Amino acid sequence: MERWGLRLHPQTAEWMPGRNFTVVTEFLLTVFADHPAWGLPLFAAFLAFYLLTLLGNCGMILLIRQDRRLHTPMYFFLGHLALVDICYSSTVVPQALVVLLERGVVLCRARCAAQFFLFTFFASMDCYLLAIMAYDRCVAVCRPLLYVAIVTEKARWVLVAAAYAAGFSSAFIRTVTAFTLSFCGSNQIDFLFCDLPPLLKLSCGDSYTQEVVIIVFAVLVMPACILVISVSYLFIVLAVVWMRSPAGRAKTFSTCASHLAAVALFFGTLIFMYLRDNAGQSSEADQVVSVLYTAVSPMLNPLIYSLRNKEVKEAVLKSLGRSKVSGRF
């Protein structure tokens, strides 16, 4: 504890009568504890990731609002994804910067629970929105003539509102369940933030019921969204196979490629982190993967969509051209 230059508050741990361990009431977040020299380079990298995340996603939101050609269901959902990515990254990265700079941060149980809730909520929202966007692409490709009638403005708001409600409910139940666990022994979390895998390592006593609830809600979010995305793209592939026009096939693949890239990056890292056997897992490997889904994925999403979508490129060029003209006058 002394090597981090930190002193825990006197209320950090409480003795549990009749047992030979203390109950943890505060958590010490550290990261890459065995490599203190990595602190400043990682701080610079995380700061760059965060600034690019804010710049890219805010730019995407403004672009969608300003350009009428982007007032379509696909970009409506993409705008919400950008907003969620900003909140998602802001929940984790600023605190991670403090952890890297100070070589450790002490969090009370309530603050740790609040961060866990917000992270779980926005991560769930990312999953739901990516699934909704896959459904939107499926309808656009498989039912182009009925697309406007199916994905109406009301339907868009209902889907997004349902995603927010489901994300909030899932995050609330998982947070309450996780923090009814007893944490004892060491209070050090060698991780960027208060996430489930490192918290479960500190749990003690009978936690079977809580872990079942947590797993059930994890299954309802991630695998369910993956199923929706997989089925949607199965129908898209079948529709593309029956297309006679090579140009139509190319346009369809180009439209869907950006979404598939975002899905692969986000869900790939989450699957590695949460849907694998935790036996013998490396703490450093977990930390590296956590960087991908908390800092890199939100940063890359605007770049992925802007590089692959012709409409976004044209909107960017139009916006830059308008800026140049206004600058002359």
User: For 273-307, what is each residue's pLDDT tens digit?
Assistant: 665 555 444 566 666 777 777 788 888 888 777 66
- Rounded CA gap, 59 and 316, in Å? 9
| Closest to 73 measured CA to CA, from 148, 165, 158 | 148
DSSP tag of 296:
I
Total residues belonging to the chain: 329
User: Whole-model pTM?
Assistant: 0.81
Q: Which of residues 174 and 2 earns the better pLDDT score?
A: 174
Burial (Cβ within 10 Å: 0-12, 13-18, ≥19) of residue 270 = buried
DSSP tag of 14:
E
pLDDT digit string, tens, across residues 22-34: 666 788 887 766 6
Strands 188-190 and 203-204, by their bridges, are unpaired
The SS3 call for residue 190 is: strand
pLDDT digit string, tens, across residues 217-268: 767 788 888 899 999 988 888 888 787 777 667 767 766 777 787 788 788 7
Residues paired with residue 30 on neighbouring β-strands, in sequence order: 190
**Whether the Cβ atoms of residue 190 and residue 35 lie closer than 8 Å to each other:** no
Residues paired with residue 15 on neighbouring β-strands, in sequence order: 22
- Rounded CA gap, 248 and 234, in Å? 17
- Rounded CA gap, 135 and 185, in Å? 46
HSE-CB of 130 using CA atoms within 13 angstroms? 31
Position 58 confidence tier, pLDDT thresholds 50, 70, 90: very high
pLDDT at 7 over 60: no
